[in-house]
Amino acid sequence: MKSLGSSSPVAASPASASPVPEVAAPAPYRSKRSAALVIEGRAAAAGVPFSAMLEIADRCNEACIHCYQVQGQKGELETEQWERVMRELAELGVMFLTFSGGEATLRKDFLHLVAYARRLRFAVRIFTNGLNVDAAMAAELGRQSVQEVQISLYSHRAELHDRVTRVPGSFERVVAAAQHLRAASVKVLLKSPLMSLNAPEYGEYVAFVTSLGCDYTLDPKLNPRENGDPAPTALSIDRRSYLALRRDTRFATPPVRRERSLDAPPCSACRGNVHVEPNGELRPCTQWSIPTGHVLAGDLRDTWYGDATARRIRGLTWNDLPGCRVCDLRPHCQRCFADAERAVGDALAPYARACQNALWKYEAELGVQPELDSPSGLCDSQPVGPFRQAGEHRFIVESVAPLEPAAPGALLSGPARPSGPPPDPSQPPLSRPTLSQSLVSLRRHAGGPSLTPPPLRRRGDSAEPDGQVRPRVGTTVA
């Protein structure tokens, strides 16, 4: 007869990106994996998404000069429809739920939806501009045990913040919102993209945010508008500002990855996070405007695992990127399918912004600016890879033959997809951009992902798959 044994030590694991102590490790060692990564890993192993982003509002009460969103054209789901979405996400195994917009707090049912999510035991985060977060709302978010509220704050100077938001007085309201939330014991993260306007003052920004008792994050990337307008990227920081940020010891950077498997996915699109637009359309991520189903077109589980476009995207690896797969700067690259599609009309092709960023990242991490040789002998101000290493810190720019276009509709003619319920005829047909069809239809991994819905756990089953009782009752962190 097996004994349940004694309780194991309790593993205290910060839910944010802090180090996680490993129970099994010798005392002085701590895992460098964050708890979020632990959960992500477990969810991936079980074949389930671990987070969801619900853009519940298609409107905003600011008009930020750099914003990538185009609002007021999608429409919004009703309260009961969002409730259904959350129930199905919970059944799918999603743990982290983020409410975003537009401006999520503009919905009259915002607090109701937060409370509903908490009843379903989600860890809830909220992205907001803070304008509507008064003392009463902050107190309610505290009562609902919201895990974190992230507020956009673009400068420690009121004049500059208000210039970015184009709403006079918005700085004062953001600061008040942060203070209300902190008073209600809600964790607050203030965040900003780094722009040419605010980058020179980021040190003062960090000091100001810290003085408010808040965390902060600064993002050097600006995105084009979702309608393709590249205007926001004109505010991007230059190389000098980028290198200054990356070399600042206050910002921990992950170690340089010398290897990056060709079989690894280039990004997490359609993998761990379920992204839902205000009108219920599913997308691969925040940036990529290609539909991968609709939350109301049948069961969400079937759509998540069965949508043909999502399956193609989920199966993409570096090996499917004709230029990038041979690039020797790949370990430093943070390319984005959406950016590539907007920049060069091919989500899988190299494009200037990613290549420039890889060069900057190489320089930041290795401390040496790489030399580039072009076969033509011409110096390109915005070189596009692939880059082949020709010596120490020296690379040759290689040209890649253009892709042949795919046959129309080829995306949907791949290997058999799992059977799912037919689309709801009451819903409008989902448009699929022809361009994006061709982008993902050519590829070697068109067979889709290995992810399959996990078997549902039944009450009454033994706690372990082999029917054996584990020797310990307790908490562990993998």
Partner 1 sequence: MTSNEPRTQLSGPTRVVQNERTACRVIGGKAVVITIDHNQVHVLNGVGTRVWELADGRPLDAIVDAIVDEFEVERAQAALDVCQFAERLVAIGAARVEGERPE
Q: Which residues bind partner 1 (CB under 8 A)?
A: 1-8, 10-16, 20, 35-36, 38-39, 42-43, 45-46, 48, 50, 90, 93-96, 121-124, 145-147, 185, 187, 454, 457, 460, 462-465, 469-470, 472-478
Which of 116/242 has CB closer to partner 1?
116
Helix (H) or strand (E) holding 243: helix 239-246
Least gap, CB of 18 to partner 1 (angstroms): 9
Name the DSSP letter for residue 443.
Answer: -
> How far apart, in whole angstroms, are the C-alpha atoms of residue 343 and residue 355?
12
Which of 35/64 has CB closer to partner 1?
35
- How many CB atoms are located within 10 Å of the residue 163 CB? 18
Which of 16/399 has CB closer to partner 1?
16
Which of 95/164 has CB closer to partner 1?
95
Half-sphere exposure of 123 (CA within 13 A, CB side): 13
Which of 96/395 has CB closer to partner 1?
96
Least gap, CB of 41 to partner 1 (angstroms): 10
Strands 188-193 and 215-219: parallel
* Side chain identity, residue 243: L
Which of 220/474 has CB closer to partner 1?
474
Closest CA to 413 of 435, 440, 380: 440
Which of 14/408 has CB closer to partner 1?
14
Least gap, CB of 34 to partner 1 (angstroms): 9
Least gap, CB of 453 to partner 1 (angstroms): 13
Burial 404-426 (b: 16+ CB within 10 A, else e): eebeeeebeebeeeeebeebeee
Least gap, CB of 192 to partner 1 (angstroms): 23
Which of 45/264 has CB closer to partner 1?
45
Which of 53/384 has CB closer to partner 1?
53
Least gap, CB of 35 to partner 1 (angstroms): 4
Least gap, CB of 434 to partner 1 (angstroms): 38
Which of 409/471 has CB closer to partner 1?
471
Least gap, CB of 473 to partner 1 (angstroms): 5
Least gap, CB of 127 to partner 1 (angstroms): 17
Least gap, CB of 1 to partner 1 (angstroms): 5
Q: CA 193 from chain center: how many Å?
A: 15
User: Residue 76 in contact with residue 99, Cβ under 8 Å?
Assistant: no
- How many CB atoms are located within 10 Å of the residue 289 CB? 19
Say what angle helices 434-441 and 337-344 make with each other, to 10 degrees. 120
Least gap, CB of 146 to partner 1 (angstroms): 8
Q: CA 364 from chain center: how many Å?
A: 23
Residue 469 backbone class (left: φ over 0; alpha: ψ -120 to 50; beta: rest) = beta
Which of 25/463 has CB closer to partner 1?
463
Tokens of 406: 């795919």
> How far apart, in whole angstroms, are the C-alpha atoms of residue 115 and residue 83?
11
> How far apart, in whole angstroms, are the C-alpha atoms of residue 246 and residue 265?
24
Residue 474 backbone class (left: φ over 0; alpha: ψ -120 to 50; beta: rest) = left
Tokens of 326: 């041979």
Least gap, CB of 295 to partner 1 (angstroms): 19
Cis peptide bond prior to 102, omega within 30° of 0: yes
Among all chains, which residue has been given the structure tokens 């320089």?
A: 363
Which of 37/207 has CB closer to partner 1?
37
> How far apart, in whole angstroms, are the C-alpha atoms of residue 114 and residue 141?
8
Residue 355 backbone class (left: φ over 0; alpha: ψ -120 to 50; beta: rest) = alpha
